[in-house]
Amino acid sequence: MLYRTRSSSAAASALALAAFLGISVFAPAPARAETPVPNGKSVEAVEDLSRTFRSVGKEIEPSVVNIKVHKTIEPVRRNAPDGPANGPSFRHFFGPGAPGGSGGDDEDDGSGMPGLPGSPFGGGEQIGQGSGVIIAVDGNTGYIVTNNHVAGDADEMEIALYDGRNITNAKLVGTDPRTDLAVVKIEASNLKAARWGNSDDLDKGDWVLAFGSPFGYVGSMTHGIVSATNRTDLQIIPQGYEAFIQIDAPINPGNSGGPLVNVHGEVVGINTAIASRTGGFQGIGFAIPSNQAKQIYTILRDKGKVVRGWLGVSIASVSSADTHNVAKSFGYEGSKGVLVQQILPNTPASGKLQEGDIITAINGKNVNGSNELRNQIAMMAPATEVKLDFFRDGKMQQTTLKLGDQPANMASIGQPGAHPKTPEPAQNDSPKIGLTLENLTPEIAQRLGLGEEQHGAIVSRVVPGSPAAHAQIHIGDVISKVGAEPVTSATEAIAAIKSHDLRKGIRLYVVSPGGARFVFVQAVDKKANGGTEQ
């Protein structure tokens, strides 16, 4: 009551003062704004878009299939999460066998298929389903494009068509794990093929529609926009060739292998993966571009497997911070291109390129980074002649070479390998960069698998927190060049290192059991970490 009485007294005083001053306290409130009625043009625009979506759906739906698969999966024990700590993991959206059926995110072993109950590591027989699109019809034969992680290694496949027919005579024509694509052949009447579109025409903001069987709900369609193009280095496909279209159209388990379609009803991508912290869709999906899928489809249909071209080099993108410093040490001022780290013996690049060359273009088309070069070379057939532009000795040069056949096992070729321990050396320390070196004898070189002819100084100790440690030099690495100067012993290597200004940086050529690479070593600014400069 007390607060209410005070409030009433104050109001009476205010009214009296207003009357004395001749001010009306009962002025009418401003007119309330009326909610605008949608005009004809705005409604018509929305209806036009709806009609477009309906038209695309009717055009594409007869070509979209559901693929139910039985697979035998070896148990997989996972030692690490899918992605960076606290970051999204990438999941293929190959869903459980039926809506509400067994399997699901809680039992997902990361392989793209849900595990059976009681199989925490995804072993045993597994039943899952994905999607696909009929992309060509020849009489009563239809060819379906889908993902390798859907159809690859399938023991049995059942294809459900849009009109309710189930096809059990499906045959796997070929797979390509490096692009996660597969081609399946079926025999049936009245099949309809979808049309390929040009994925190079896509740009951010373009409307796209995703088709498939999320969670087993056959005949589903969602829409969204292109969020980005040419997404690389995602490591969705192990050792694969990635140039994904990023989309925000809702996609979920079961959508794998389904078509991504533009507003003209053309297939511009094959849905493949989502980035998610929970396993569910969070607004980021990825599709294989149609131009890549079409090329792989044609090769698989005609030959059953993909044979790729090969240069025989180990490379790194100039745009990365460490490699950029190495490129500058060669006098290269550009920000794009590919640094040649190593030339593998008896390969197409032998005698044509050198370690330290910076490739800037292939067949007249600029090359921005290593993934771009890898993808372009891999899409060419062996024996194809290519013209490379590269930087060497302070000037641009050109060479033409003929591509070779890419080896089947690329994982062990030219990649950094394990770094074996070496015997305790004589004290040949280089405190300047934080290394201890010893002479590389033919016996040690042979034991490391480097060949008796390998020369240089072998690293036997790396001081934690030193410039060498920051440059990721390891025990067992062999330093064969300091700057442009070859070194044949620990003494030569240390003398050459001392002759350089560490503040400006030193370029080293390092050979290890898994390959060779350039390393740029520079003084570590310890003041930035709360310490003092040494």
In a domain, 41, yes or no: no
Torsion of CA 44, 49, 52, 58, to 10 degrees: -110
The one-letter code for the residue type at 321 is A
Active-site amino acid positions: 149, 180, 256
Mean pLDDT (the chain, rounded): 79
How many domains would you assign to the chain?
A: 3
- pLDDT score of 228: 94
Residue 336 forms part of a structural domain: yes
Q: Are residues 333 and 467 in the same domain?
A: no
CATH number for the domain spanning 489: value is: 2.30.42.10
Is residue 414 domain-resident?
Answer: no
520 within 8 A of 324, measured Cβ to Cβ = no
Both tokens of 141, joined, read: 């034969």
Domain boundary among 305, 337, 353: 305
For 318, half-sphere exposure in the C-beta direction (CA atoms, 13 angstrom radius) is: 24
C-alpha to C-alpha distances, 205 to 201, 202, 247, 256, nearest whole angstrom: 12, 9, 9, 23
297, 317: one domain: no
pLDDT digits (tens, 9 = 90+) for 354-363: 999 999 999 9
Q: Are residues 291 and 319 in the same domain?
A: no
Angle at 275 between CA 272 and CA 277, to 5 degrees: 140
Q: Are 214 and 254 in contact (CB under 8 A)?
A: yes
Which pLDDT band holds residue 11 (cuts at 50, 70, 90)? very low
Task: Give the CATH number, domain containing residue 263.
Answer: 2.40.10.120
Question: Can you tell me which residue has the tokens 């709900």?
Answer: 217
Domain-ending residue, one of 266, 290, 305: 305
The answer to whether residues 462 and 398 belong to one domain is no
- By the 8 A CB rule, do 125 and 134 touch? no
Question: How much is the pTM?
Answer: 0.66
CA distance 31 to 26: 15
pLDDT band at 283 (very low <50, low <70, confident <90, very high): confident
Cα four-point dihedral sign 248, 251, 252, 253 = negative
For residue range 412-445, what is the model confidence (pLDDT) as tens digits? 454 433 334 443 344 466 667 888 888 888 878 8
As given in the structure block, the two tokens for residue 322 are 């460490």
Residue 485: domain span: 428-526
Q: Is the pLDDT of residue 151 over 60?
A: yes
Other beta carbons within 10 angstroms of residue 376's beta carbon come to: 16
Q: Considering the domain boundaries, does residue 153 fall inside one?
A: yes
Would you place residue 346 in the very low, low, confident or very high pLDDT band (cuts 50, 70, 90)? Answer: confident
Q: Which of 372, 405, 438 is the last residue of a domain?
A: 405
